[in-house]
């Protein structure tokens, strides 16, 4: 029996990061993987040969910004990691930041595996020192200066792909406030409902979102440049387009299910909840190219499950207008995306295999 202990904050559970572990706890156990979840490290008893998955948000207050000098709390975290490893426990640090970049590399010498939702194909970017690596690789450094502490070259092999937001709970009535009910029984009571791609779609395109993320922190607004560009382009389109600020969840999902196309720009990270909501709604996903990433599940197959556009969106209007004018030629992309997503999120074996893979390759090159 493999013992996996997960240390996370309650906030992590509420935001569904732990959802697949709750949903498939029984299936994990049937494959000799025992999972225990803790929200207080003082109650966590570590034994030799345990595997500890440590969600980075558990230490959020002390590890928010690694570009600043280490605080006393940071030193406490590193001391804790050292003590855990002394007991023979394997530590898998779960960096669940939205972006493929990371501010978490100061911990990497003290853990065995560094899990990310998505990893850059060119891992050498993480070791960059002289070119001031940007936390969000698609942004011009002159636009956003969120520089991270580089990963030591001899620690690069520890960076592994875990799982992205696809496995989170995307039901209309998710059990976020009662995460311990997010199991297979709750899915029978409250299933995830898909909209048929061939359903009537009176809208050509829809896009909802905030123009700026956070007025308190102007640097965050630089991250909004793609969505701001989407808004600008949509103003000149002559098709039946619905766009604008955030609306109720009910209206948002209704518009998605009635639309031929959904645009999903990058935000704090490349992978977005909107991607999977688009698959559920049966719309055609148009998104900045994901070819720089390794992620799991990989639902981003260019011109097969989504239509890629350039990071600066210079080709967005042309591609969107072409797809709308030739919608029937492109519906297969929406069908492929929806079917791939449905298969991944409903297969416990797929998720459990990814967990086994991380455990078995723990700390290996």
Share of the chain above pLDDT 70, in %: 86
Domains and CATH numbers, the chain: 2-167+347-360 (3.40.50), 192-345 (3.40.50.2000)
What pLDDT does residue 64 have? Answer: 47
183 DSSP 8-state letter: S
Residue 15, pLDDT above cutoff 80: no
Contact 165, 273 (CB under 8 A): yes
Q: Which of 228-232, 305-309, 340-344, 347-351 has the lowest mean pLDDT?
A: 228-232
Predicted model pTM = 0.91
Q: Which helix (H) or strand (E) segment is 90 a member of? A: strand 90-95
pLDDT digits (tens, 9 = 90+) for 278-324: 999 999 999 999 999 999 999 999 999 999 999 999 999 999 999 99
Contact 92, 52 (CB under 8 A): yes
Distance CA 181, CA 167 (A): 16
Q: At 243, phi and psi to the nearest 5? A: -155, 170
What pLDDT does residue 251 have? Answer: 95
pLDDT digits (tens, 9 = 90+) for 114-132: 999 999 999 999 998 666 6
Strand segments (E) across 135-199: 159-161
Lookup: tokens for 175:
């059990």
- Alpha-helix residue ranges (DSSP H) falling in the chain: 10-14, 19-23, 25-30, 72-86, 184-189, 218-222, 225-234, 249-257, 273-281, 316-325, 327-345, 348-360
What pLDDT does residue 118 have? Answer: 96
Distance CA 68, CA 147 (A): 10
Contacts of 305 (CB under 8 A, 6+ apart): 285, 299, 333, 336, 337, 340
Residue 177, pLDDT above cutoff 60: no
Distance CA 140, CA 108 (A): 27
Distance CA 97, CA 327 (A): 35
């Amino acid at each position: 029996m493999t013992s996996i202990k997960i240390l996370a904050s309650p906030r992590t559970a509420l935001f569904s990061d732990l959802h697949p572990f709750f949903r498939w706890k029984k299936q994990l156990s049937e494959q000799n993987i025992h999972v225990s979840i803790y929200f207080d490290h003082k109650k966590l008893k570590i034994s030799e040969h345990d595997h500890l998955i440590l969600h980075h948000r558990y230490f959020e207050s002390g590890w928010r910004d690694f570009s600043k000098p280490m605080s006393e709390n940071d030193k406490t975290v590193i001391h804790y990691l050292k003590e855990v490893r002394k007991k023979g426990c394997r530590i898998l640090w779960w960096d669940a930041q939205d972006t493929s970049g990371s501010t978490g590399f100061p911990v990497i010498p003290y853990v065995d595996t560094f899990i990310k939702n998505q990893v850059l194909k060119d891992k050498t970017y993480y070791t960059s020192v002289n070119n001031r690596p940007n936390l969000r690789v698609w942004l011009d450094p002159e636009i956003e200066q969120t520089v991270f502490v580089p990963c030591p070259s001899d620690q690069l092999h520890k960076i592994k792909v875990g799982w992205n937001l696809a496995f989170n709970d995307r039901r209309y009535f998710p059990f976020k406030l009662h995460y311990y009910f997010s199991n297979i029984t709750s899915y029978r009571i409250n299933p995830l409902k898909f909209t048929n791609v061939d359903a009537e779609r009176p809208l050509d395109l829809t896009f909802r979102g905030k123009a700026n993320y956070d007025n308190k922190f102007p640097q965050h607004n630089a991250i909004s440049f793609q969505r701001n560009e989407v808004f600008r382009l949509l103003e000149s389109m002559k098709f039946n387009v619905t766009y604008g600020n955030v609306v109720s969840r009910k209206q948002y999902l209704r518009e998605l299910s009635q639309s031929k196309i959904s645009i999903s720009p990058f935000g704090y990270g490349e992978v977005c909840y909107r991607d999977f909501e688009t698959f559920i709604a049966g719309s055609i996903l148009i998104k900045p190219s994901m070819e720089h990433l390794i992620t799991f599940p990989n639902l981003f197959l260019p011109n097969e499950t989504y239509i890629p556009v350039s990071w600066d969106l210079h080709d967005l209007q042309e591609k969107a207008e072409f797809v709308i004018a030739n919608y029937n030629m492109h519906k297969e992309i929406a069908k492929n995306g929806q079917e791939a997503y449905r298969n991944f999120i409903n297969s416990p074996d797929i998720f459990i295999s990814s967990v086994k893979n991380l455990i078995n390759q723990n700390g290996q090159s």
